[in-house]
Amino acid sequence: MGKVVVTEFLSLDGVMEDPGGAEGFRHGGWSFKFNDPEGMKFKLDETLEAQALVLGRVTYEGFAKAWPGMTDGVGFADKMNSMPKYVASTTLTSLDWTNSHLLKGDAVQAVRKLRDELDGVILIAGSRSLAATLKDADLVDEWRLMVHPIVLGSGKRLFEDAEDAKTLKLADTKVLESGTLILTYRRADA
């Protein structure tokens, strides 16, 4: 059975919107103020470990626009472009990015099926609505949160629409030179 892992860039006040600056958010690109080699290695290792990537429509469209032409010499871009990508969308009918597959029907059932069929890490990046839906369905096995030392004051937050309280167990912490924290949480029952 696979492991569903949600990975996010967050501000100290929980904003996850547009950390890369491609979405037109007034604070877009905020994560680039904190360039930590150890954080980049964490993201590389996390991506190389993943067996599959699951994305919501908005994140997919941003990634599919940015990644196909990228190269980096360390394997990150190659992995992003080659790994299987599964997209939860009710509006998209076709996907152009290499090795992308549209999840048919209910996203919760589709991700549950992927988790049952795959043996490795199934990474959910960005995709705020999808991450919340999977959390509410109790399908997230691990949360990897890079919390940056910045307060944005506005923007979409990861847990702003949480339906129920959810207790997690802290599994690991890393403090980066910039003050960014990498917090890894697992299911409390794990």
Domains, the chain, ranges and CATH? 3-187 (3.40.430.10)
Rounded mean pLDDT, 164-190: 93
Q: How confident is the model at residue 32 (pLDDT cuts 50, 70, 90)?
A: very high
Determine the average pLDDT of the residues in 136-151: 96
Least reliable range by pLDDT among 11-25, 51-65, 160-174:
160-174
Per-residue CA distances from 40 to 6, 11, 95, 148, 163 (Å):
17, 17, 28, 13, 33
In this structure, the number of other CB atoms found within 10 A of the CB of residue 56 comes to 21
For residues 27-46, give the mean pLDDT. Answer: 94
Q: Do 79 and 70 touch, CB atoms closer than 8 A?
A: no
Residues 6+ apart with CB under 8 A from 93: 102
Residue 162 pLDDT more than 80?
Answer: no
Q: What is the mean pLDDT of residues 41-50?
A: 96
Residue 143 and residue 184 in contact, taking contact as beta carbons nearer than 8 Å: yes
Average pLDDT, the chain: 94
pLDDT of residue 87: 98
What is the predicted pLDDT for the residue at 23?
A: 83
**pLDDT given at position 27:** 93
Give the mean model confidence (pLDDT) for residues 111-137: 95
What's the whole-model pTM score? 0.94
Q: Is the pLDDT of residue 179 over 80?
A: yes
Mean pLDDT of all residues in 150-160: 93
Quick one: pLDDT at residue 188? 87
The interaxial angle of helices 128-136 and 107-117, nearest 10 deg, is 80
